[in-house]
Amino acid sequence: MNLPNKLTLSRLVLTGVYVVIFYMPWENAVSLAMIVFGIASATDYFDGQIARARGIVTNFGKLFDPLADKILIAAAFVMLSADKSIPMELRMPAWITIVILAREFFVTGIRLVAAGQGAVLAAEKLGKHKMFWQIITVIYFMMRQASTEPLWGFMRPVFTANPGAEQIVAAVVVYFTTFLTVVSGFSYFWKNRHLFNDA
């Protein structure tokens, strides 16, 4: 197995580590989970860069790279929405998690249809931009919670100095990420609409 595919698989493993740490009864659990999430997210950049630089783009990578992305992002959004230990004002809005999951199921469905026709669809550039902003959103919301813990406590003034402005920033991040998520999903369908010519 080549290095990019190993990095892709490591992202799946790190997702499991992220979830476990998030639920640990440690005073810095969210802070440590955020670091693991950051490392896992970085593998998404490096596996693609290495694959393109070495000319070793494979069907395995085309399939599992976006799949690993979806699992990582879905896990993060679900955790940040559902964990009741996080104060409501710091929690990820449930509706954006629903949008994220719906889009990913939708795109996965398109890939399954393509696979049934003998094709493997790679991720598109807009999807990568969407992934980037989803990562930014997750890290932002995790940082809000991590700033209440000792490890990242020095960041607390950033979120408490001007609560009104901070709420606006959070809303902008959420709405922009949601917009990209919806648009990228529609774009993916439109570019592959030929798969549904028999409808």
* Residue 192 pLDDT class (50, 70, 90 cuts): confident
Angle among Cα 32, 75, 133 to the nearest 5 degrees reads 85
Helices (DSSP H) in the chain: which residue ranges?
3-22, 29-54, 59-82, 94-116, 125-146, 156-160, 163-191
Q: Quickly tell me which residue has 């999951």 as its tokens.
A: 101
Percent of the chain with pLDDT over 90: 50
pTM to 2 decimal places: 0.89
Q: Which of 21, 113, 13, 29 minimizes the C-alpha distance to 71?
A: 13
Q: Which of 108, 71, 74, 106 minimizes the C-alpha distance to 92?
A: 74
CA–CA separation, 74 vs 80, rounded Å? 10
Is 80 or 123 the better-scoring residue by pLDDT?
80
Specify whether the CB–CB gap between 176 and 129 falls below 8 A: no
Residue ranges of domains in the chain, CATH in brackets: 3-196 (1.20.120.1760)
pLDDT at 28 over 90: yes
The pLDDT of residue 111 is: 83
Specify whether the CB–CB gap between 122 and 110 falls below 8 A: no
Cβ neighbours, 10 Å, residue 93: 16
Q: Which of 146, 171, 142 minimizes the C-alpha distance to 156?
A: 146
CA–CA separation, 12 vs 7, rounded Å? 9
Encoded tokens for 55: 């000319």
* Residue 40 pLDDT class (50, 70, 90 cuts): very high
The pLDDT of residue 141 is: 92
Radius of gyration of the chain (CA): 18
CA–CA separation, 59 vs 70, rounded Å? 17
The pLDDT of residue 199 is: 61
Q: Over the stretch 114-170, which tens digit does the pLDDT of each residue have?
A: 877 777 776 778 888 899 999 999 999 999 989 999 999 999 999 889 988 988 999
Q: Mean pLDDT highest for which of 14-18, 53-57, 141-145, 193-197? A: 14-18
pLDDT at 179 over 80: yes
